[in-house]
């Protein structure tokens, strides 16, 4: 179905090397060109790439690090590790990137600071347009598409000073939570390169876990910022619908997918989110600006948590996943929260049918032109054709009925938030699976009847348009990561990130990383 990399299995993890001494102690004097940079003492490449995005930003702005050294460190790590995981694609030439980094150094020396991402390497998910860089959408039909514009959130990332180095891999047209496609092949999990990195932001999550980028963007329709975050032991954040504006052809109807941030820490994610978010008149449904700064020390004492789990046995889980996620509830109890199990109160089979109808409708209409051309249709993945052909069978009455069911779900969830401050769900129903599979065909003996049924756990927050932080839940006995979703009230993005930050402080999962 797609080109495959030669397997080079790795597994296990270790803790991050301490970067405290580096952050406090290294001093740089940056001259007009890289040859005049003098460093005492010399940091290692690992020191640089181990820094959080915010720590790296501070080191650059305070001129303890020069942008050229940062770029060189990341390019060196990409050269060493990316061939094993295939997270970064369409990487621009090294000489161009180093020249842009040197220009960023000269700008800083001249007093021009472009923003918190000044001179930092950034790879955009290959479902968003970045001017002058191939945007394939993972599709053979777009294998030569080079846009002459940036999507809105990419425009903002670039304006904040980032140097766009290339793209992160994604599944064809974002369909399915396994990042493989006929253009670039499969992205592998840094914790075990025989396993999937998830998707559709699988390339972004794997690149973060392997320290190939300091922070990353992603998108999420059916868990694409959440499933790969759990699979790769990083942080993903699905914002409220409308928070991050986007260019699109279905802006008034496409109310399922969002763009958002991923990172190695909640603070990094919050910083990128603040850069991406805010109203833009080109997106008619984008929300007005408001303060989104992270409240990193929120006291969660007395906060009420509702555990949705498997919805009373409705959802199947691979053995070990649900138990690991349930154990994370003790972290919230330790923070002073009360935790209760939520009894099922909605027909989840109806919710699934609602999801299928709306997704069929959007995909069928969004890909209508490609499907109508026999040559382009022949290059489509079977799952895309299945979505389109099911969409063609829908009537306006079907779509309206799905909208009514979605509204009923929204009201049900709103009632839950009259009792609970946050809801918790696993971020995936399985551990990372074999990278050679297209998708899991069964979970714990229960057959999956569609290519995306195995990730049904993520559709509830999407259909309600709610903010969700995907956080690590630890590692199974197989050494593979799993994660949870922290779900907040409508438009309570800042509260969700504050809760995620408190959870992060009480755990050490994000201090662990793959062994490379």
Catalytic residue positions, numbered:
125, 200, 224
Q: Give the number of other Cβ atoms within 10 Å of residue 286's Cβ.
A: 20
Backbone angles phi, psi at 74, to 5 degrees: -70, -40
Backbone angles phi, psi at 146, to 5 degrees: -120, 105
Helix then strand count (H, E) for the chain reads 18, 21
Token representation of residue 138 = 């993972």
Residue 505 to residues 106, 294, 332, 508, Cα–Cα distance (Å) = 37, 14, 11, 7
CA pseudo-torsion sign 458, 464, 470, 473: negative
Q: What is the 3-state secondary structure (H, E, C) of 438-477?
A: CCCCEECCEECCCCCHHHHHHHHHHHHCCCEEEEEEEECC
How many whole angstroms from its chain centre is CA 496?
16
CA distance 47 to 25: 12
Are 29 and 495 within 8 A, CB to CB? no
CA distance 64 to 72: 15
């Amino acid at each position: 179905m797609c080109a495959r990399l030669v397997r080079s299995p790795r597994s296990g993890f270790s803790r991050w090397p301490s970067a405290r001494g580096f952050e406090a102690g290294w001093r740089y004097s940056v001259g007009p060109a890289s040859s005049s940079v003098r460093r005492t003492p010399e940091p290692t490449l690992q020191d640089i790439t181990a820094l959080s995005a915010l720590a790296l930003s501070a080191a650059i702005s305070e001129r303890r690090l020069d942008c050229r050294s940062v770029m060189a460190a990341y390019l060196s790590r990409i050269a060493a590790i990316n061939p094993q995981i295939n997270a970064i694609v369409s990487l621009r030439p090294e000489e161009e990137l180093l020249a842009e980094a040197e220009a960023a150094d000269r700008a800083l020396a001249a007093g021009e600071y472009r923003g918190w991402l000044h001179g930092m390497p950034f790879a955009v998910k290959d479902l968003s347009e970045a001017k002058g860089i191939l945007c394939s959408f993972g599709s053979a039909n777009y294998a030569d598409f080079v846009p002459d514009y940036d999507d809105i959130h990419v425009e903002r990332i670039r304006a904040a000073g980032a140097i766009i180095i290339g793209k992160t891999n994604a599944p064809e047209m974002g369909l399915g939570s396994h990042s493989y496609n006929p253009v670039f092949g499969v992205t592998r999990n840094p914790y075990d390169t025989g396993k999937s990195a998830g998707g559709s932001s699988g390339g972004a999550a794997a690149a973060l876990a392997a320290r190939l980028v300091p922070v990353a963007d992603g998108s999420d329709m059916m868990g694409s910022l959440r499933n790969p975050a759990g699979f790769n032991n990083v942080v993903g954040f699905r914002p409220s619908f409308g928070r991050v504006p986007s260019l699109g052809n279905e802006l008034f109807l496409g109310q399922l997918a969002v763009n958002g941030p991923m990172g190695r820490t909640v603070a990094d994610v919050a910083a990128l989110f603040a850069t991406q978010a805010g109203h833009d008149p080109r997106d008619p449904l984008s929300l007005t600006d408001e303060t989104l700064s992270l409240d990193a020390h929120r006291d969660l004492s007395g906060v009420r948590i509702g555990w949705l789990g498997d919805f009373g046995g409705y959802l199947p889980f691979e053995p070990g996943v649900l138990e690991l996620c349930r154990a994370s509830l003790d972290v919230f109890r330790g923070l002073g929260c009360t935790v209760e199990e939520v009894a099922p109160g909605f027909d989840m089979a109806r919710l699934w049918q609602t999801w299928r109808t709306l997704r069929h409708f959007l995909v069928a209409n969004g890909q209508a032109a490609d499907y109508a051309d026999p040559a382009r249709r022949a290059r489509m993945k079977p799952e895309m054709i299945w979505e389109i052909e099911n969409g063609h069978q829908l009537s306006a009455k079907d779509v309206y009925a799905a909208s009514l069911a979605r509204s009923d779900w929204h009201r049900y969830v709103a009632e839950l938030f009259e009792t609970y401050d946050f809801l918790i769900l696993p971020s995936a129903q399985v551990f990372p699976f074999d990278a050679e599979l297209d998708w899991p065909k069964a979970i714990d003996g229960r057959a999956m009847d569609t290519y995306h049924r195995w990730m049904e756990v993520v559709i509830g927050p999407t259909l309600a348009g709610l903010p969700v932080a995907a956080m690590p839940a630890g590692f199974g006995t197989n050494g593979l990561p799993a994660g949870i979703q922290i779900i907040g009230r409508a438009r309570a993005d800042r509260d969700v990130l504050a809760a995620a930050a408190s959870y992060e402080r009480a755990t050490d999962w994000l201090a662990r990383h793959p062994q490379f």
